Amino acid sequence: MGESGLPAPDGVVDFDGFVRGNTSTLLATARLLTGNRVDAEELVQETLVHLFPKWRLVEAAASPLGYVRRSLVNRFVSRGRASWRRETPVAELIDGVGAPDPADAVGDRSVVRDLLAELAPRPRAVLVLRYFHDLTEPQIAAELGCRAGTVRSDVSRSLAALRARLPRTEERPV
């Protein structure tokens, strides 16, 4: 019986358990893909709503989390194909003189997130799967439905693009 006293639809209990146990991981992935919390929550929700009616397929997969993550990444890539470029105005700040700011470690995460946001959805997804989820090239290729060589070249080109955009810092005497 469900909480309302009515019989629960097949798979609801397992679906609920999956959502409770994996939402934080899915949100973290979606946040890296979308660049912000609101869009990440929307992407996770859309993915789960889309998969709920066919939850038996997800449960039958060798890795239900992998199945859902693949669906999440595919949904992100599909919906962002035309609208991945957005202008993000930034002010250029002049570094002050003195010791390094301990907040720079937090700022580094922000820089990486901003740089990822400049990439097209597929290369961004490849980097998130490679470096956030530590998947191998064949695993990423399977999730994205492409060849491992394509993943390898996407990683190489994306990292080169990120390095080219990385803000340069001058060495300062301590």
**CATH ID of 1-83, from 1.10.150, 2.60.120, 1.10.1740, 3.40.50:** 1.10.1740
Show pLDDT as tens, one digit a residue, over the chain (174 residues): 344 443 444 545 589 999 999 999 999 999 999 988 999 999 999 999 999 999 999 999 999 999 999 999 999 988 765 454 444 545 554 454 454 554 455 566 777 788 888 888 889 999 999 988 989 999 999 998 999 999 999 999 988 888 888 766 555 444
Q: Which two tokens stand for residue 77?
A: 């890539």
Q: How far out from the chain centre does Cα 101 lie?
A: 28
Domain 102-167 has CATH 1.10.10.10: yes
Q: Where are the domains of the chain?
A: 1-83, 102-167
Helix locations, the chain, DSSP H: 12-34, 37-51, 55-60, 64-80, 104-117, 121-127, 137-144, 148-165
> Would you tell me the crossing angle of helices 137-144 and 64-80 to the nearest 10 degrees?
60
pTM: 0.59
What confidence score (pLDDT) does residue 12 get?
A: 53
